[in-house]
Structure 1
Amino acid sequence: MARTKYKKKVKNGNTYYFYRLNHKNLKRPRDLYGKTVQELKDKIEALTYQLDRNVKSSKVLFGDYLKTWLDSVHSVNKKAGTIAHYNSIYDNYIKGSILFDIRLSELSALDVQDYLNALLAQGKSYGIANSVKKIISPCIRYAYTQQRILTDFSRSVKIQKPNDTEEPSKVNPMTKDEQERFIKAIAGTSYEVLFLTALYTGARLGELLALTWNDIDFTHCEIKISKTLEYQKDKTTNKFTHKVVAPKTVTSNRTIPYPEFLTPYLKKTHTKLLEDKLRLQNRFEDHNLVFSNRFGGYLHGPAIRTNMEEILDKANLPHFRFHDLRHTYATRLFEMGEQPKTIQTILGHNNISTTLNVYTHVLKELTIKTAYKMNKLNTEFQIKNE
């Protein structure tokens, strides 16, 4: 057996090879152990490599480090809804995961890649896997700048984005026939005016649920969008509550027109609100909301979506999300020849490319119709010249 310079030492009843490492970046010598000489050499080499590059050694677990970074660094100056989204991703996909218990200093690109691949293999969507990656990657970059890890491997982690054949389009507008049947189906129901307003303004659900009567201009038939309603978890009480917050982007602050036929519907809703307020008195929550429950309080998004699904089922209509009412509105505008820039402004998109990318399906149909029109024009020319 070859001789070795490393001494043997008994620890917890087991025999290990032992080495005491001295280094200028260590306040005191570090004792290292290995079951074999090669294992000990690898540990000496890895630690020396870190110390030579002034990387701070720590036993902190990646999950703990990420949570501290999330609360103290990444969430600073972020909107409450964004912070709630970060915490949701952490609670559901980092906490308790295989990544959580890996030491920060030992985490590798392969660990992260394997975990993201496993999420997709379990049937999680590309969006979820990408959201997990979006909080892990900047955390890795931060740890590297703070000399907690040797390399910034964040950009080497990839997620395979599904192509169009693997993932159906998220844009699912109603056809004109489906829209007409839906309008008939919602007549007289609890959320009729809410559904109609969404269909004919393109406003998001959160924006509509945060509307107050001060935002409605009956004279000019306009609605001012300056806030949105979110359902957030209070970090102190751990209870969920409704909160009115500023829109996510600057362009979401906008004034949008509504068709005049909606005015009687809205005014009837206002009259009903005043009657409820008078009848309930002290039990009425006076938030001055356009769309509220019978006590004047905020409406709950899931309840509205459930009601919509029930209406669609009864009317034998396909499944549509509430957000598809917004897509339906935009699709009708494109079909009627409205300019993309105008549609972008009404919808509150950041830039025109977003609008054009979202409604590619509509534009494709319009280009086909344009070719048909040009063919028709050519036929007219030929008839005149015969």
Structure 2
Amino acid sequence: MVEKKKARAKHRGIRGAGSVYRRDDGRWVGSFIVEETGKRKYLYGKTQQEAYEKLQNALQDQKQGMLATGAKEKVGDYLTRWLDVHKVTLRISTYKRYQVVLDKNLIPALGHLSLQKLAAQHIQTFYAKLVKEGISPRTIKMVHAVLRKALNQAVRWKLIPRNVCADVSIPRYSKHNIHPLTMAQAKRLMEVSKGSQLEVFITLALMTGMRRGELLALRWAHVDFATGCLNIHRNVAYVTGYGYVEDDPKTSSGNRAIPLPQLVIDLLKQHRSKQLEVRLKAGSKWQDNDLVFSNKHGNYFSLTVMYKVFNQVLIEAEIPHMRFHDLRHSAATILLALGIHPKVVQERLGHSQISMTMDTYSHVLPSMQQEATDKLDILFREQEREQE
């Protein structure tokens, strides 16, 4: 008669405390019930102590609400899902930029990895490869910013316990130093640009401080010749790998009205007349987008042509190479140097806060301080003379 084996007595532990035991293959296992899902989670270790420590750490994470409970998912699948979910919260241009970063950089390099197993060394190795390929630090910074943002959301969704981007270093990126034009250079640039495709474009940039994208998106409907005022409501960005993307300004302060000098109003009227001639020549090929600055068919003005002509004008004006965006900085610097109140400059530029204006153009402030000192000196010296 075969003797029946006595069943082992089951000792019920403290609810939620988990348990540690040894498997038949010799590995130690720590297991506990995940409160959020009601499913059992298993943690493995080579020794009883290792399994126990992993169990305690997991229980502590669960207590603090930091336990990653997501199912296994590839980085590429997660990034695609993350961007799709957040599309409604992003500006169109931002969404398109993120999409290009995912499709061109992140998914090809990291998409095959498990989200839960993505490590800092994977990302660091990827960035080192980009550097070897000659990718600029600025681009790598953009890639890193998108990945960090996506992984921060994964942490909030409890798909991963922490964001490994915190352990990754990116190449140093130096911000472009501002090189504004002097008043004499600004006048020279406007003079040399006369008759070129950018005559009005450059003049408007220097007179208003408008961004390149705001100039490209400007419509004739936004120009009020009766009041001599220009209204800014849109912005155009060129996304590499996608094309032109038009959107609202980044902030509400980007929507603004700028009074125009008579010089600019006259130039705009002349420009409109010339554009009508181009429109008639284009005939049925003309696209009626109402753009102030357009190509020969009425679409967005080519950035390639813009940069080519701008560099030619700089050379002819004997002005060192500069970015077109520096015209915006030049406009602000000239206004501040003329003694225009920073609050007026802030509103004209469309900055959301005056601190942004002050921080960006702090190089102008010392001369303004000296001007204020000189005016005070003159004021009180006159007062002393009157008392004598």
The alignment's TM-score, normalised by the length of structure 1, stands at 0.76
**Which amino acid in 1 is paired with 2:360?**
V
Q: How does 1:1-386 map to 2 (within 5 A)?
A: 7=24, 24=33, 37=46, 46=54, 50=58, 53=62, 55-56=68-69, 58-72=71-85, 74-97=86-109, 99-108=110-119, 110-111=120-121, 114=124, 118=128, 127-151=138-162, 156-157=166-167, 167=174, 169-232=176-239, 240-371=242-373
Deviations 1:32-82 (A, max 9, x none): 999xx56x986897589658946436442334322321222x332321111
Tell me, what secondary structure is at the counterpart of 1:263?
Answer: helix
Q: CA deviation at 1:361?
A: 0.8
Q: CA deviation at 1:168?
A: 5.9
Separation in 1 of the partners of 2:152 and 2:40?
Answer: 29
Q: CA deviation at 1:371?
A: 4.7
Separation in 2 of the partners of 1:58 and 1:355?
Answer: 47
The alignment's TM-score, normalised by the length of structure 2, stands at 0.76
Separation in 2 of the partners of 1:231 and 1:121?
Answer: 24
* Distance of aligned partners of 1:150 and 1:370 in 2 relative to their CA distance in 1, 3 Å threshold: same
Equivalent pair of 2:294/2:301 in contact (CA under 8 Å): yes
Separation in 2 of the partners of 1:27 and 1:168?
Answer: 50
How many residues are aligned here? 360
Separation in 2 of the partners of 1:138 and 1:357?
Answer: 26
* Distance of aligned partners of 1:182 and 1:33 in 2 relative to their CA distance in 1, 3 Å threshold: same
Separation in 1 of the partners of 2:39 and 2:266?
Answer: 80
Q: CA deviation at 1:357?
A: 0.8
Equivalent pair of 1:202/1:347 in contact (CA under 8 Å): yes
Separation in 1 of the partners of 2:382 and 2:137?
Answer: 50
Aligned Cα root-mean-square deviation (Å): 4.1
Deviations 1:312-371 (A, max 9, x none): 133332111111111111111101110111111111110110111111111123224445
Q: CA deviation at 1:241?
A: 4.4
Deviations 1:6-44 (A, max 9, x none): 655xxxxxxxx667887655999999999xx56x98689
Separation in 2 of the partners of 1:374 and 1:245?
Answer: 47
Separation in 2 of the partners of 1:370 and 1:158?
Answer: 48
Tell me, what secondary structure is at the counterpart of 2:238?
Answer: strand
* Distance of aligned partners of 1:58 and 1:168 in 2 relative to their CA distance in 1, 3 Å threshold: closer
Q: CA deviation at 1:159?
A: 6.3
**Structure 2: gaps (5+ residues):** 1-21
Separation in 1 of the partners of 2:42 and 2:157?
Answer: 25
Tell me, what secondary structure is at the counterpart of 1:223?
Answer: strand
Separation in 1 of the partners of 2:234 and 2:343?
Answer: 22
Separation in 2 of the partners of 1:105 and 1:20?
Answer: 19
Separation in 2 of the partners of 1:357 and 1:23?
Answer: 54
Identical columns (%): 29
Q: CA deviation at 1:212?
A: 1.6
**Which amino acid in 1 is paired with 2:280?**
L
Tell me, what secondary structure is at the counterpart of 1:350?
Answer: coil
Separation in 2 of the partners of 1:298 and 1:152?
Answer: 41
* Distance of aligned partners of 1:29 and 1:149 in 2 relative to their CA distance in 1, 3 Å threshold: closer
Separation in 2 of the partners of 1:262 and 1:150?
Answer: 57
* Distance of aligned partners of 1:29 and 1:308 in 2 relative to their CA distance in 1, 3 Å threshold: same
Deviations 1:162-199 (A, max 9, x none): 7xxx9465322111222222122212111111111111
Separation in 1 of the partners of 2:129 and 2:339?
Answer: 43
Separation in 1 of the partners of 2:55 and 2:81?
Answer: 25
Equivalent pair of 2:229/2:258 in contact (CA under 8 Å): yes
Separation in 2 of the partners of 1:24 and 1:135?
Answer: 34
* Distance of aligned partners of 1:51 and 1:202 in 2 relative to their CA distance in 1, 3 Å threshold: same
